[in-house]
Amino acid sequence: MSERIKQVTDASYQQDVLESQEPVVVDFWAPWCGPCRMMAPVFEELADEYAGKVTFVKMNVDENPLTPGKLGIRGIPTLVIYVDGEEADRSVGFVPKPLIRRKVEAVLAETEGK
């Protein structure tokens, strides 16, 4: 996995995601999930492309069940984009790279307008 992608836990979610100064894209996943494995290289490429602008993190839902439960994560992979600690977008299932890029660009355009 890319060194640009941080693994977050139930214990670190508040600090790493909700208190981040940058927009954050969270990939809720599990190792046994086929679509999650398909998403991994796409997620890594985007993390490299947006380095310094957007933080990309992954949360293993098997090892960290509290946060996904609180957020109502029912299917994986689920991508959630946060801006200033607030959920700005959510996608469930495999999402093609161009669509994720559009969602990230929309969030960046909003944050630049602030």
Alpha-carbon distances of 10 from 28, 41, 59, 71, 107, rounded to whole Å: 12, 24, 8, 12, 25
Catalytic residues: 33, 36
Alpha-carbon distances of 20 from 27, 40, 74, rounded to whole Å: 16, 22, 24
